[in-house]
Structures are given as C-alpha cells and as structure tokens.
Amino acid sequence: MRDCPVYRRALGTLLFGIMALLMTACSPDSTSDQRDNELSATEQKTLTIALVMKTLTNPFFVEMEKGARKAEQEFAIHLVVKTAAQETSILQQIGIIESLIRDQVDAIVIAPGDSIELIPVLKKAQEMGITVINIDNQLDPDFSRKSDLQDVPFISVDNRLAAYRSAKYIADQITSPAKALLMEGIRTAKNADMRMQGAMQAFRENPHIELVASESANWKIDEGYHLMQQWLATYPDVQLVFAANDMMALGIIKAVGEAGRSDILIAGYDAIKEARQAIDEGILQATIDQQAAEQGYLGIQFAIRAINGEKLPQETLIDALLITRDDH
C-alpha cells in the first residue's frame, strides 16, 4: 500500500510544504531588506547646492565660481551655478531662487544683487527646508529680522575698511588742494554703501581734498565710462577718483585715456585681471583683492556644515588685500 502512487504524491506534498516553511523561517525578511536599502540610499544621497551670483560678466564672479567648483570636487556634492544677466537684474535673481525652490535643492549660497529685495524669496526657501548662506553682499540685517529670515551665515570682507585702504592710497599722495570724485555701486546693495563710507572717510582725513561728486554707475563699465565723461566736462581740474569696483574703474580709465589725461589718480576694488594689468601699466593706482574664490569655497563648505547641523558664526570676514604697483 505504501508503494501506491497516491501515497507517494501525498508524502511529496507534505515534504515540500515543510521545506518551504523552513526556508521562509531562515531567510532574511524581504521588507527589512528593502527598508535597509532605502536607508542606505538616503545616507549616500549627493547634496545639491546652488550658487546664485549676480552675473558672470564681471570676472570677480568667475573667480567665485572657481572656488565653489573646488569645493564641489573636494566635498563630492552636486553644484548648480545660476547667474542673472546683469548685476542690476534683481527680478531675475528672484526668479532663479523661485526655480531652485521648485527643484528642492538642499542649499542656496547667494551673492545677492540687492540687500533687501531678495529677502522675502529667501525666507520662502528657508521655510521649505532649504539652507541659505549669504556671501559677498550682506542681506540687510534689520529687514531680515523683520521678515523672520533667521540664522543666515554671512561670508565676505570688511568692505568699509577695504575701500578706505584703497582710497587712502591715492589720498595720501595729495599734498595740495585737489578735487576728488567717488563712483558708487548699486545704492541698495550694502557692500556698495560700505565702500562709499570707507572711501569718504579716506578723503575726509586729508584736509587738502574736496569731494565734489558722488554718484552711482551701478557696477558697470559702460555707465562708469559715461559718468566719467560727464564729470571730466563738469570738473576738468579733478585729480583723484575712487571706483567702488574695478568694472567701473575700467570705464573711468577709458574716459580718462580718451581725454588725454594722465594726471588723475584712480583707485578701484576687486583686483580683476584687467585692473592688475592697469596697475602694472601705471594707469590704476590701487585695487582690493577680496578673495572671490575663497568666498565661493567657504560658501559651499558652510552650506554642508549647516546641513549637517553645525552651528555656524553669523559673520565670517576674510582678509581683503590692498594691491598696488609695489606688489608687482
């Protein structure tokens, strides 16, 4: 009877069931495996950090990107670089931030074109869990507090002191009555205001100097050029000019050169390649190296540290270096 087919089939089915139960009991839980894989994927996620600058038409920001790219390689993050068309394209910068919020980036490192207008959209980013780091031009502290934009680390240089040193370099060369001009950046940008204050202080400290005009050329070569043309017509006996960035200084140099004037002392700010060359040629007297690449690098590093929960200083100032012909 034990050799009958029915008995053999029943025994086989019973043995198969027992083996299946044993394999299920001994094998790892598939749900647990899936959960572990998901956790591993989360732990290995590459951070996406956006660097938002004013423009790439200014070599200063090209250097800033180089520093950020160095950090991208060193820290193995994914860097997204966005810029507006011009330094005055504030609405475009706001639109870029809106787009990055939709893309759900992990952090935004911003060199804002305006110290107030960017605050509401950056507050929106912060509310969406995006880390915000401020570099180069400081967001207005008072409006930030009123808008509840909190704990945004700022990385830059002491713009007032640096501009003071640049303007003082040419002011110290004046020993008899002389007229001075001050070309400002965007007036709603805090760094422009600080540079204006620093240059004014340097000029005031020399009793021989009379500051006859201070106007904005919005950081631009062409506006600096046209403004200097107007000034040369209005103040033909001007002897020294401070420009709050090198782009405007290059416009000044062009206008002065076309007028055949080699007696005007000019100081700038940013230490871009063209400015350094003008210093070598004796056309520009001084400029300031505010280490743009270092600002870009630190901005990315600070973003990573903030994401990892580290408490960061509210303000980090790096050295600003006075560049003159003596340094070449």
Q: What is the mean pLDDT of residues 243-257?
A: 98
Provide the sign of the torsion angle of the four alpha carbons 59, 61, 63, 66, taken in this order: negative
Q: Which residues contact 124 (CB under 8 A, 6 or more apart)?
A: 97, 98, 101
Predicted confidence at residue 44, as pLDDT, reads 58
- Tokens coding 159: 């713009």
Tell me the pLDDT tens digit for each residue of 6-63: 344 444 444 444 444 444 444 444 444 544 443 343 345 899 999 999 888 899 999 9
- How many Cα atoms occupy the beta-carbon half-sphere of 309 within 13 Å? 0
Tell me the pLDDT tens digit for each residue of 98-128: 999 999 999 999 999 999 999 999 999 999 9
Mean pLDDT score of the chain = 89
Predicted confidence at residue 88, as pLDDT, reads 84
**Backbone phi, psi, residue 294, to 5°:** -65, -40
Q: What is the mean pLDDT of residues 89-105?
A: 97
Tell me the pLDDT tens digit for each residue of 180-189: 999 999 999 9
Predicted confidence at residue 73, as pLDDT, reads 97
Q: How far apart are CA 182 and CA 185, in angstroms?
A: 10
Provide the sign of the torsion angle of the four alpha carbons 8, 9, 13, 19, taken in this order: positive
Q: How far apart are CA 209 and CA 52, in angstroms?
A: 40
**Backbone phi, psi, residue 53, to 5°:** -115, 175
* pLDDT value at 224 more than 80: yes
Q: How far apart are CA 321 and CA 314, in angstroms?
A: 22
Predicted confidence at residue 10, as pLDDT, reads 43
Beta-bridge partner residues of 211? 180
Q: Which residues contact 209 (CB under 8 A, 6 or more apart)?
A: 171, 174, 178, 179, 180, 203, 240
Q: How far apart are CA 290 and CA 155, in angstroms?
A: 11
Predicted confidence at residue 328, as pLDDT, reads 59
- What is residue 187's DSSP assignment? T
Predicted confidence at residue 29, as pLDDT, reads 47
- Report the amino acid identity of residue 84: A
In the chain, the largest separation of any two C-alpha atoms, in whole Å, equals: 130
Tell me the pLDDT tens digit for each residue of 194-220: 999 999 999 999 999 999 999 999 999
